[in-house]
Structure 1
Amino acid sequence: MFLHAFQSHVKQHFPFLTENTRLLATVSGGIDSIVLVHLCVATGLDIGIGHCNFKLRGEESDADALFVKELASKFEIPFHETSFDTYAYAKKHTLSTQMAARDLRYAWFKEVVASEAYDYILTAHHRNDSVETFLINATRGTGIEGLTGIPAVSGQVLRLLLPFSRKQIHQYATENTITWREDSSNASDAYVRNAMRHHVLPALEIIRPDATDRIEDTMTHLQQSVALLETYTKELKERYFYPLNSLTGPSAICLDISKLKQHPNPKEVLYVLYKDYGFTSWIDIYQLVEAQSGKQLFSGTHRLLKDRTSLQLYEHRKEERNKTTSFEILNSEGIFQGEYGKIEIKIQEEAIPTTPNQISVDREALHFPLIIRHWEAGDYFYPTGMEGKKKVNKYFKDEKLSLVAKENTWLLCDQKGIIWILGHRADRRYSAHEHTKKRLKITYSI
């Protein structure tokens, strides 16, 4: 009995669903989501219904919304609905209509979950959907994860129907005189999934009647392989990654290139190490290993930099970079904070040792206002402990600062020159000495 099989599956694989768990079922009006609602009600799950009208099929879309609303009323369960201008959204974000609809509905479902205190989102994906996803991804070219089908649990999203076939769902609906809405767009082969459903999978089943079962077996084996690979990937990260912590810039995750090259499969190691950071052009990453220092690649979330003998991975958040390029300090004492970090200036009676984050300067040598800014081409200073002057860029090179570290290093200047490369070397022209009448202690921290 299908209902009993569904209830047993929920009990065995979703034991965290209790009588106090609130579930938002995403219901289009089609047979899969309508049967899901009936099964949940019969099982005693506490559900509400969420429906999105994408305005893609005119009056047909409006009729779907009314049908789902009446179903919620019949079962006396909460009903939530919204509508979108899907075409406009797709055009604005350069997406296919299907991808636009997907983004819109999941964003809205999450909003409803948060505002109405639901615990999980239910979707009606079933066994055939997972097999179709396998075929679609196989023809697109994908990593092993793309061949594992649709997961039963993905964050707050639960898929209770995943073990059951379209045929089982249809049979249950027929036996229980359940009515549903037919989406006319499902008959079109314009969508890849529909073409797979109408032609590819039926052709495979002619050649091999148990094709769906065997594909499902393959996905299970691949899921096991992925689990094993995840364990090995964790070991690889522990073996090859090491942290780079900086006083003057963002932290990085580093990889020693010479150590990587000792592995018999360095390209494969690079793939598993960096695949979770949004990179997709693997040829470019492989070439980065042999590229000159300073070469870098970007994903939507991260930045990968070749720096001499290592690869350095940084979070890439352009929006966090303030457009302000310089800051003024008008007073000779106080605490000053900004994008650059924190600077504290106070009078110091006794001589103090100079460190990367602490210097002592002669107040009379300073020409206010002080300026905090990034370095510029042509900048030079007179480093303490050295003869003559030095270009800041040459200092960075000698100190082996990476491109990212340079970008995140600030200079403390007055109206005549550089007082201090913050977190690094000070300019000796401003240093306090034995004849200094008024010492200022300047400390810096991020």
Structure 2
Amino acid sequence: MSPRFIGLDFGTTNSALAVASPEGAARLVPVRHRNELLNTFRSILYFDDEERDPNGRPHAFAGPDAMDAYLERGAEGRLIQSVKSYLANPNFTSTSIFNSRFTLENLVGFIVARLVDATAEAEELSGEMLAGPVVVGRPARFVRNSLGVADGAHDDLAVARLREALRGVRIPDVHFEFEPVAAAYSYEASLARDELVLIGDFGGGTSDFCLLHVGPGMREVKARGETIVGVSGVGLAGDAFDARLIEHCVAPRLGKGTNYKSGSKTLPVPSWPYDTMKRWHELSLINTRKTRRMLEEIGQTAEAADEVAALSRLISEERGFALYQAVEATKVALSSSPETTLHFDLDPVTIDARVTRAEFDSWIAPELAEISTCVDRLLEETGTSPGRVDRVFLTGGSSFIPAVRRLFAARFGAEKLAGGGELTSVATGLALAARQRFGD
């Protein structure tokens, strides 16, 4: 049997596997869920105190199984999302779940192992991943400081943790590739001539950019770094856009900016739960007895008692994922419609917030400015004028946002924008990268 080349895209929101034969196109390895075949695997975990593994520790549901368990059991368990976003954080080493401690590497490993197990090719893939190289995607920059400069120490920490997590689930021979470079492999497969391409990869937590040469003349170059002109990135993307919708459409309807009585004093409702809400995957971290007691006491004298009660329910019932779904649906709708409604039912409050695309564009203007600055910095550092760029390939969910596309159209020309496989091009590109590196 001919060898296969494997690419693993471990993402903040979704993960995927792809394989490539010695010749031809790469293909995604679908995952099975009930009677469906899915191209991507949601990067979430759910733990239920009633479900234990053979060692007596809480069982980790992952991907669509985690979503099902969460929707069925809700606040009875613990939902964990956006694990990738913690890799560069030295302060997050482990977490206690129903009196069992799990390291960050454990959490990453659960997601990847369950992803492999959910495929129809699980046994074959497991053997191949144990015995041979696997090319794994990584952001161009896991983290940058406030001046936009790459933070090498934290970046190295994230890579080391990801490598260790994969070793823990029997993937010992790991080779990393920049995610935008992987997307370039996918785009390059359709080219008949060489081009200088800017790849923009918009994930959940990072926006990464790579300027490189692609095309028929580059396909035999095993050290792909030779074709890269420059890379850059910024630590914001889809999650940051979601946060703006939460800030403007959700938080004001859950008591933000209102007051409560404490003795003879009138005090503002604390802002920190609303700040945490912007990073919806962190809501479970504040679902503590102290937080619940605080909100209960505030609600007794709050001028917006129903809204504070709804906030308390959002946290105590682990409704963060449901909130994310409502926000994501709103963002997607605004990509094709000039206005829509963000609907979220959180008894005793029902949120029906009308939002226009123009409003959304104004809310995400600071993030767009950071992305614009990052791209300009890359062009300046590489001495490349926009006119020299032959094509701009945009991938990732946020590449559909009209304001994002306008930013690149204004700088490079709308006719140069290209896309395709926005949610899967990185995975297939990683498999092609594996073939180019390790094929004969």
Q: TM-score, normalised by structure 1?
A: 0.24
Name the structure where strand makes up a greater proportion of residues: 2
Which is higher, the Rg of structure 1 or of structure 2? 1
Which structure would you say has the larger RCO, counting Cα contacts within 8 Å and 6 or more residues apart? 2
TM-score w.r.t. length of structure 2 = 0.24
